Structure 1
Amino acid sequence: LYPREDNKECVDLLRRARIAFQAGRTLKECFRLTQLEALVRMLEEHECDFVDALGRDLHKPRFETVVFELITVKNEALHAITNLKKWMQPQPVEKNLSTTLDECLVISEPLGVVFIMGSWCNPVQMCLVPLVGAIAAGNCALVSPSEYTVHTAELLHRLIPFYLDNECFHVILAGISDLPEIVELKFDHVFFTGNKEEGGKIAVAAARTLTPVTLILGSKNPCYVDQNCDVATTVQRIAWACFHNAGQSLMAPSYILCHTDVKARVVQALKCCLMEFYGPDPRESRSFGRMVNLEIFSHTRDLLWRSGKVVVGGQVTEAEKYIAPTVLTEVAESDPIMQQEVFGPVLPILSVNDVDEAIAFINKQEKPLCVYAYSTNSNVISRIMQETSSGSFCSNDCILQSLMVALPFGGVGACGMGSFHGRYSFETFSHRKASLLRGTRFECVTYLRFPPYEDRNLSLMTWACALSQKSQGWCQIL
């Protein structure tokens, strides 16, 4: 493991960042744009370094690193650069009779110094996409990459000081067990991606100082496959989502609820698809990754061995932290693989008789981060979207909804709170301040609210309130 920052160093970095923020260093649009442009330049100039670091941490293929780590972050940064001026402008709101000559505005102001904790599943994306939002909103930030992806963390720790402002932005190398203590140092916002257990500890630590939090937490993400679907396309898209990055993704489908009429065809198509993707021995494929460490490897292997029946894959090599892309059938709801979070290349398939049974199954569980549904029947898609609750929903594909800058991505219920991406990241790291800019005119009317309280004044106020209820719901004469 890398050497960790001690508490004293974190206190010093937080102090420096707070001084920089209080000096107004981050407030100007030009400063924010410069930092965002530098972030893009860092990713472009060190693409090979990131490919190497993620290759060493996760055996991650170059394609996956470039497309799902680097390009994703660059898209976010370029989107923020293009839209920053518009996002920063005060937003006028609807006026009423008493504010006709006043200004009613919502002003987005930065929160201050924020703390961003990334996950090991997507160690660049989950650190830098939130950082884009924090920079765009005018904050200072401390970023803590996951200790599990040590080479990526060290690379970020080394590069960011060369590209971003050295007083406003810092990378700290902290272990997961140290994070709650760091959170208690008091930040203005905490952003965490990871598992529920650690997310709960972060939330408790943040609550002690009344610090607002955004939590993006892992869950069991269901995927319904209807009898009316294009099986070949469906299986390709599911297999890619489940097995890219060796299944280590917060957004990947966790299990398939497969209509009994197409289950046999789906299983056969998965066998063919995995052969096409990774060849007869995925261990030899340059397109397939490895588990991040022995702890995650052992956990996934044990769940695999104690659940269902292996119909594809199942091979493991502990020395390489390798688990083959694996498909399980004859899985029961009570099996260990269905009871715990799984970050690995294992796909259980359960049978359902119709969409009603699928919806009932999904709604029995805790609310997931993602729900997926494959069907050519639009009524089936609509029902699953409307009759289940989840952080996000995608029909006839997987994961893409979590990468789009125009869509918010976040959790609900047990899989977290808050959201990010694009403008939603800007708003997550901003305070929307209600601002009423008034003059001193019309005192001949507004005096009615002042003591001494007369019945006549109350009658006039009640009358005015009744007139305005249809539009404003409150007394316009105030």
Structure 2
Amino acid sequence: MSREQLVVQRARKSFQTGNTRRLEYRIHQLKGLLRFITERRKDIADSVKRDLGKSEHATDLFETLGLEGEIKLAIEKLAEWAAPRPVEKNLLTLLDEVYIQPEPLGVVLIIGAWNYPWAITLQPLVGAIAAGNAAVIKPSEVSSHSATVMEELLPQYLDKDLYPVVTGGVSETQELLKQRFDHIFYTGNSTVGKLVMGAAARHLTPVTLELGGKSPCYIDKNCDLTIACRRITWGKFVNCGQTCIAPDYILCEPSIQDRVVEEIKKSIKVGLTSMFRTVFGNFTQKKCIGVYGQFYFQSEETLIYVLCNTSQEFYTDNPKTFEDYGRIINQRHFKRVMALMEGSTVAVGGESDESQCYIAPTVLKDVTETSKVMKEEIFGPLLPIITVSNVDEAIQFINEREKPLVVYVFTHDNKLIKRVRAETSSGALLANDCLVHFTVSALPFGGVGNSGTGCYHGKHSFDQLSHLRSCLIKQLKLEGVNSMRYPPHTAKKLSWARFFLLKQVNMCRLRRMALLAIFTGLAAFLVQRFLRRG
């Protein structure tokens, strides 16, 4: 029996004890996960630094900050999420209990990704724990240092049988996929996603596939190009472009291509102090308390720290020496990204160092749909610009390709935003910013078509990893009402059945009507008594 098979068996045996059905137990495990994030912050940051060259503050911002928010939200809302959910009734079930009861699925397999090795692996775990499941966690072997830390330290904070960490490469993942799970949650590329889905099909296991694709970014010529390009620059080059929701390519009219190139070039080195003045005017720190870009902070001290300790520039004149500009994960991916530049004109950047897996923030112009860089998701710091004559051509260009994870549009025109939303399909639509929809727990995060299936974040994670069980509780009374369904079937019985089954009952309205009737009757009674006394 393989190690992976034993791990899954132990997880299922632990799940069958029923401990995870108790909300108190789930909250205890969620609090343990929160302690892990807070107490082991330095270990997490060190592992990400070794894997991706990411700074400690960047790891806090893009990995653990969102995790803390997800865990705290789940703890706060768990009783509400797990409670029975009443539904509308028909006349036939008017006196019955009819509701949806969320219940655990069983044992979930979570296969994480290497680009955000903590956030992307542990956010689904939050949902799995909250929903009362056991979960086998398989971090990506590509981010090997993060995987090792997760394997060594996470069992110190969570039930090691219910939430085991399995490390290893392709063979270990393949062995896990041979086992029967009750749900598989995979984040990665569509090629592997198809293999995961095929393996899941052998056991009829449902899947959540968070994939990716080439997310387009349309820039309207009449928008504020300075702000638009600054936000695009940030969204594209965060994590050295290794972000599934990064804008993959720009669509714009030929008349603004050179301006877009220049604004992105400036944005790579723009001062953050200048950015705050652009957004807030001549600000004081007090005016800005609570907000930094699109990220909100709970304390004045946190924001002041960010303002005082952030570099004066995005990546400076030399991103290679800049702490907050990371590295390509390994040399294989370095060579893949570098090969994508072949045949395209470098307008900004282009410098590289294979020994450090370094590629500078790079803009490619005059790119065509047949260019090599347009053949696959880039997943690196290359930003191609394709010119289109108008928004009609941009929409057509988007629709001729697989459905992306995100469609970005930058414009002041709300009608144009609504048109892009109505005439394209994607996992999400974001206007006038990049990436930040990921920070909104109330929004379902996921793809459509080739960019994925299923969603998570906040309550969506809980629902995705729960079985929403239909419940109808009747009494052994009023048997006469059931005669319409018993044979012999007649036209009269069918007529009654049509009335009772097709007439939906709005219980809120019914309760309001009942209360109104009670108050009306009480008022009439009091009036009659008053008149009699008079």
2:388 — aligned with what?
352
Q: How big is the shift at 1:467? A: 6.9
Q: Deviations over 1:5-41 (max 9, x none)?
A: xx71111111111111111011111111111111111
2:467 — aligned with what?
431
Counterpart AA for 1:291? I
Taking the TM superposition and a 5 Å limit, the aligned residue runs for 1:204-243 are 204-243=198-237
Contact conserved, 1:180 with 1:201, CA < 8 A, in 2?
no
**SS across alignment from 1:289:** coil
**SS across alignment from 1:169:** coil
2:494 corresponds, among 461, 465, 468, to 461
Taking the TM superposition and a 5 Å limit, the aligned residue runs for 1:39-58 are 39-58=33-52
Distance 2:48 2:120 in 1: 13
Distance 1:220 1:177 in 2: 29
Q: How big is the shift at 1:212? A: 0.4
Q: What's the TM-score, normalizing by structure 2?
A: 0.85
Q: How big is the shift at 1:403? A: 2.5
Taking the TM superposition and a 5 Å limit, the aligned residue runs for 1:132-281 are 132-276=126-270, 277-281=314-318
Counterpart AA for 2:344? G
Which consecutive unaligned segments of at least 5 residues does structure 2 have?
A: 271-313, 506-534
Root-mean-square deviation over aligned CA pairs: 1.3
**SS across alignment from 1:72:** helix
Which consecutive unaligned segments of at least 5 residues does structure 1 have?
A: 1-6, 473-478
Distance 1:209 1:73 in 2: 31
Distance 1:61 1:338 in 2: 30
Q: How big is the shift at 1:66? A: 0.3
Q: Deviations over 1:50-78 (max 9, x none)?
A: 11100000001222200110001111000
Q: How big is the shift at 1:454? A: 4.2
**SS across alignment from 2:164:** strand
Q: How big is the shift at 1:321? A: 0.6
Q: Deviations over 1:95-135 (max 9, x none)?
A: 22121221001000000000001111111011100000000
Contact conserved, 1:116 with 1:141, CA < 8 A, in 2?
yes
1:288 — aligned with what?
325
1:298 — aligned with what?
335
Q: How big is the shift at 1:307? A: 3.6
Q: Deviations over 1:164-199 (max 9, x none)?
A: 012211100031354233122010000000011111
Q: 1:441 to 1:416 in 2, by over 3 A?
A: same
Counterpart AA for 2:449? G
Taking the TM superposition and a 5 Å limit, the aligned residue runs for 1:380-391 are 380-391=416-427
**SS across alignment from 1:251:** coil
Matched, 1:85 2:79: yes
Q: Deviations over 1:252-275 (max 9, x none)?
A: 000000123322211111111113
Distance 2:34 2:338 in 1: 38
Taking the TM superposition and a 5 Å limit, the aligned residue runs for 1:397-436 are 397-436=433-472
Matched, 1:131 2:125: yes
Distance 1:460 1:406 in 2: 46
Contact conserved, 1:146 with 1:176, CA < 8 A, in 2?
no
Matched, 1:320 2:353: no
1:67 corresponds, among 42, 61, 65, to 61
Q: How big is the shift at 1:348? A: 0.2
Contact conserved, 1:181 with 1:205, CA < 8 A, in 2?
no
Counterpart AA for 1:45? E
Q: Deviations over 1:435-474 (max 9, x none)?
A: 00000111112023223x243xx422234405754647xx
Distance 2:9 2:402 in 1: 40
Q: 1:166 to 1:178 in 2, by over 3 A?
A: closer
Taking the TM superposition and a 5 Å limit, the aligned residue runs for 1:330-369 are 330-369=366-405
**SS across alignment from 1:142:** strand
Distance 2:251 2:202 in 1: 41
Distance 2:318 2:227 in 1: 23
Question: Bigger radius of gyration, 1 or 2?
Answer: 2
2:485 corresponds, among 423, 443, 449, to 449
Q: How big is the shift at 1:287? A: 1.4
1:19 corresponds, among 13, 38, 42, to 13
Counterpart AA for 2:168? A
Contact conserved, 1:222 with 1:370, CA < 8 A, in 2?
yes
Counterpart AA for 2:131? A
Distance 2:21 2:70 in 1: 20
Contact conserved, 2:484 with 2:496, CA < 8 A, in 1?
no
Q: Deviations over 1:363-394 (max 9, x none)?
A: 01100011100001111111111110001111
Q: Deviations over 1:396-432 (max 9, x none)?
A: 0011112221110001001110000000000010000
Distance 2:145 2:182 in 1: 29
Contact conserved, 1:255 with 1:348, CA < 8 A, in 2?
yes
Q: Deviations over 1:134-168 (max 9, x none)?
A: 00000000001110100000111111110001221
2:511 — aligned with what?
none
Matched, 1:370 2:406: yes
Matched, 1:102 2:96: yes
Contact conserved, 2:484 with 2:497, CA < 8 A, in 1?
no
1:475 — aligned with what?
none
Q: What's the TM-score, normalizing by structure 1?
A: 0.94
Counterpart AA for 1:459? K
**SS across alignment from 1:394:** strand
Counterpart AA for 1:86? E
Moved more, 274-283 or 463-472: 463-472
Q: 1:168 to 1:342 in 2, by over 3 A?
A: same
Distance 1:328 1:96 in 2: 60
